[in-house]
Structure 1
Amino acid sequence: MLVSRRPVALTLAAATVVLAASTACSSSSSDSDPDSAAESGAEKEESGPSSPGAERPEDQAEDPAEGQAETEQQAAPEPAWDTSPSSIAAIGDSITRGFDTCGLLTDCPEASWATGTDAEVASLAAQLLGDDTADRVWNLAETGANVADLPAQARRAARHEPQLVTVLIGANDACAGDVESMTSVTDFEADFAESVELLRAESPETQIYVSSVPDLMRLWEEGSESMMARTVWGMANICPSMLADAGNRSEGADARREAVRERVQAYNEVLARVCAEDELCRYDGGAVFDYEFTSDHLSEWDWFHPGESGQRELAALAYEQVVANVTTKD
C-alpha cells in the first residue's frame, strides 16, 4: 500500500437648512449693498446653481476604476512555494510510520519515506535536509490512523511550525471490514479539509505536500497469485474490503474490489480539490496512485505495507513534487 470580507452626501433636510441660511445672508447683503449682491450673483453663475443634496467636491464618490486599481496595487502577492524547506513534519498512517518495513508488526520510522534516516531509503527529509535533521523533523503519523485522526495530528504538527508537512492518509478508510463500512466521501472531505484549515490557521506559512492514496486494486493484483500473500492477508485479516478471499474471482468478488477502488479514486479527488483551494498545498497529481509498484516493493512480512524499496519509491515521488518549480494542483 503505497500510500478552511461612501462618499457621504448631505441629507435633504440638512442641505435645505444650509441653503436657507445662505439665502437669508444673501438677501441681507443685497439690501445694504447692491454691488455686493451683483458680485454674489456673478459668483453663483460661475459656480453653478446650488441644489438640495448636492455634494461638495470633498464628498464626491471616488472613481471606482481608481479604487480598484489602488486595491490591486495594495493586494499582497501570492506566497511562493519554497522548494528547499528546512523543517518537516509528517502526518498520516502506518505507511509513514514504516510499519512492517524493518520487522514484523513493528513501526520502523527510520525507514519512513517522509522522515527516515535509513540511507537505503533516501527519505524526503534526508534529500532536503541532509544528515542534520535533529530538531527539524517530526514523524507524527500513527499506525492504524484514518482520516478522522488527521485533524489531531495536524494540530500537533502546527505546534512545531514546520516549513513543510507531508500527508499520506486514506488507505485505512478504504480498508474496512466490508464495502459498507468504508469512510464516506463526505466524511473524508470534512476531516481532510479541517486538517488543512487547522494547519493554515495555526501555522500560516507551513507548506503542505499531499500524497494520493495508493491503488489497492493493484496491491491485490500483485499478490493474489501468491499463496504466501493470500495466506498472510487471510490470517491477519488485512484490508478485507479488498483482500478478503483473495483467490475468489467471481463476479461478486470483482464488483466488491472495484467498489473499493472507486472509493479510493473518490478520496483522491477530494485530496486534489481541497488542496487546490490552499495556495501553499501541493497534491501529487495522482503519482502514488498511478505508480506501477510490484511485489518487490512490498513488505516481506505482510505483503501489504511498503518494504524498503517501496518506501524509497514513495520518497522519490514526493521529492519530485516538492522541488518542482510549478505547483501540481490536479
Structure 2
Amino acid sequence: MPERSSRRRGHAAVAALAALSLTGGLTLAGCSSGSEGQKERASDAARRASPAAAPLWDRTPASVAAVGDSITRGFDACSVLADCPEVSWATGTDSGVRSLAVRLLGASKAASHSWNHAVSGARMAQLPEQMALAAQEKPELVAVMIGANDACRDSARIMTPVTDFRASFEASMRQLRATAPKAQVYVSSVPDLKRLWSTGRTNELGKQIWKLGICRSMLGDADNMGAAAVARRDAVRKRVVAYNRVLEDVCAKDARCRYDGGAVFDYRFTGKQLSRWDWFHPGRDGQARLAEIAYRNVTAAGPPA
C-alpha cells in the first residue's frame, strides 16, 4: 500500500508539471530544446487562457451628440427656409423619422441623452468648435455629417480647398480627443450633390427656391446644359468625392472612428425623400433614410467594406 501510494503521488506530480508547462505556468530548466509541436500547443493554450481584448467599437452606445450642417438640423424638412431639429436623422424625436439616437437609445432616453450641435450653413472650418461643444457632453458616440457647404458656394472657384478641408477635420478630431478620448465617431459621407440636382430639377417650385441662393455652385442656372455649366457641376462633384476621401482617410487613423463607406454619397434620394420646399435638402422621409443608414453602420459587427 505505501509503495502504490508513492507511485500515485509521483504520477500526479508529473501530470501537474506537464499541465503547468502546457499552459505557460511553468518553464522547466533544460527544456528549451523541446519539440516545435509542444511549443505550438503551449502557445495555443496560453492564448485560450488569456481574456480577449475588448473591441474598441461599442455597437450599443448610451448617448449621442451630433455635429454638422443644415442636413443634421433638419433644414427645410418641416417648413420653408427653417431648421427643424426634431426630424434630424441623428438626434431628432419625430416618430416617423426614428433618428439614430431613438433607434439606439429608445425614444425616452434619446430625449435626455442626445445633443445636436450642428449649425445650418456650417463648413468644415467650423467643425472644431462644434466638436468642442459635443465633447463637453461626454457622449459615447458623436455623429458627423458635414462638407456639403464646402462645395456649395456661390462659385465653384471658391470651394474649400481639399488641403484646408483635411486640416480642419484633423483639428476637429484632435479637439474631440482632448476632452473625450474614448468617444466613438460615426462619419457620414457627403451626399452626391449632382445627383440631388438631377432629381430636384424636375420640380419647378424647387428650382424657384434654388434661385434664392441655395448651393449656387451646383444648382445655379439649373436647366443650363451647356459645356461650361456641365463642367462646373462635374467640378463640384469631383470636389465632393475628394472630401469623402479625406473623411475616410482621417477617420481610418482613429481606432474609435467609423466612416460610412460612402453609403450616403451612393444613396439615390428620390423626389419623395427631398424637401417639398427646396427639393434639395432631405425631407422627413429622406431624414429617415439617413437614420437607417447610420444605424445599420453603427450597429454592424465591422465597418463597411
TM-score scaled by structure 2? Answer: 0.81
Question: Which of 126, 129, 132 is equivalent to 1:155?
Answer: 132
- Provide the secondary structure at the position in 2 that maps to 1:172: helix
Contact 1:288 1:314 survives alignment (8 Å): yes
1:121 matched to 2:97: yes
Determine if the alignment matches structure 1 residue 84 to structure 2 residue 53.
no
Which residue type is aligned with residue 117 of structure 2? L
CA distance in 1, matches of 2:96, 2:112: 22
Equivalent residues of 1:88, 1:162 under 8 A apart: yes
Q: Which amino acid aligns with 1:107?
A: D
Q: Are the aligned partners of 1:79 and 1:279 in contact in 2 as well (CA < 8 Å)?
A: no
Q: In the aligned structure 1, how far is the partner of 2:80 from the partner of 2:199?
A: 21
Size of the alignment, in residue pairs?
A: 256
Letter of the structure 2 residue corresponding to residue 258 of structure 1: D
Q: C-alpha separation between the residues in 1 aligned to 2:79 and 2:203?
A: 21
Alpha-carbon distance in structure 1 between the residues aligned to 2:166 and 2:290: 23
Matched ranges for 1:76-225 at <5 A: 79-131=55-107, 132-225=109-202
Question: 2:90·2:100 contact (CA, 8 Å) conserved in 1?
Answer: yes
What is the Cα deviation at residue 127 of structure 1? 0.4
Gaps of 5+ in 1: 1-72
Aligned to 1:261: 237
Distance 1:206 1:100, change over 3 A: same
* Structure 1 moving runs of 4+ over 3 Å: 76-79
Q: Where does the alignment leave 5 or more consecutive residues of structure 2 unmatched?
A: 1-46
| Counterparts of 1:78 and 1:233, CA distance in 2 | 49
Cα distance, 1:237 vs structure 2: 1.2
**In structure 2, what is the equivalent of residue 237 of structure 1?**
213
Please show how residues 286-325 of structure 1 align to structure 2 within 5 Å.
286-325=262-301
Contact residue 205 and residue 278 of structure 2 kept, 8 A:
no
Cα distance in 2 between the residues matched to 1:303 and 1:162? 33
Deviates more, 1:244-253 or 1:219-228: 219-228
**Cα distance in 2 between the residues matched to 1:105 and 1:262:** 27
Structure 1 residue 79, shift from structure 2 partner: 4.7
Cα distance between partner residues in 1 of 2:202 and 2:303:
39
The amino acid that maps onto 1:261 is: R
- CA deviation vs aligned residue, 1:271-323 (integer Å, no higher than 9, x gap): 00000000000000000000011111111111111100000000000000000
1:281 maps to 2:260: no
Tell me the distance in 2 between the aligned counterparts of 1:167 and 1:311.
Answer: 14
Q: Secondary structure at the match of 1:95?
A: coil
- Aligned partner letter, 1:154: M
Give yes or no for the alignment of 1:270 onto 2:246. yes
Cα distance 1:133–1:227, how it changes in 2: closer, same or farther (>3 A)?
closer
AA partner of residue 176 (structure 2)? L
Q: What is the rounded CA distance, in whole Å, between the counterparts of 2:271 and 2:213 in structure 1?
A: 19
User: For residues 85 and 223 of structure 1, what CA distance do their matches in structure 2 show?
Assistant: 36
Tell me, yes or no, if the aligned pair for 1:179 and 1:256 is still in contact at 8 Å: yes
TM-score, normalised relative to structure 1: 0.75
Q: Secondary structure at the match of 1:305?
A: coil
Q: How much does 1:230 deviate?
A: 1.9
Partners of 1:78 and 1:240 in 2: CA distance: 48
What whole-Å deviation, never above 9, does each CA across 1:255-284 have from its counterpart, x for those lacking one? 000000000000000000000000000000
Larger Rg: 1
Q: Percent identity?
A: 56
